[in-house]
Amino acid sequence: MDEGRPIFQQIAERVENDILSGALSEEAQVPSTNEFAMYYRINPATAGKGVNLLVEQGILYKRRGIGMFVATGARDRITTRRRELFVLEYIAPMLAEAASLGITPDHLTQLMKTQLIDTQLIDNQLSEKETR
């Protein structure tokens, strides 16, 4: 757990990550609030707050007497929201900083392409080392 963010938000994010990775598919049952509470050693009310946040967002739904399940279209809703947040939290500040440094859009695009290539090369080298 990350000490800098509320635990209920971290639980909601972990469930979302499981949905995005495919570990939890649509209509799959998610752990109960008591299971989350036991696993993370937190108060069940805190776990419930994280689960309820996802219910409010239409990511999970409750089957009375059975438990919580991943809603149809949950993955798409999560992806859409996270892409919007990505623009607000990363792209917009990067563009503002680039403008203040006099970096043109073309130069910024080239910098990003170069970084992507460098990152891929590093990833390939690490993969090669792991297979040896």
pLDDT per position as a tens digit, 113-125: 998 888 887 777 7
Instruction: Specify the pLDDT at position 132.
Output: 66
What percentage of residues in the chain have a pLDDT greater than 70? 98
Instruction: Specify the pLDDT at position 24.
Output: 97
Between the CA of residue 100 and those of 9, 41, 103, 115, what are the distances in Å?
34, 46, 8, 20
The mean pLDDT of the chain is 92
Cα(83)–Cα(85) distance, integer angstroms: 5
Residue 2 pLDDT greater than 80, yes or no: no
Pair of tokens at residue 73: 């279209």
Instruction: Specify the pLDDT at position 120.
Output: 81
User: What count of other Cβ atoms lies within 10 Å of the Cβ of residue 70?
Assistant: 21
pTM (2 decimals)? 0.77
| Better-scored residue on pLDDT, 125 or 55 | 55
Q: Which residues contact 70 (CB under 8 A, 6 or more apart)?
A: 19, 24, 25, 26, 27, 28, 30, 59, 60
Instruction: Specify the pLDDT at position 121.
Output: 76
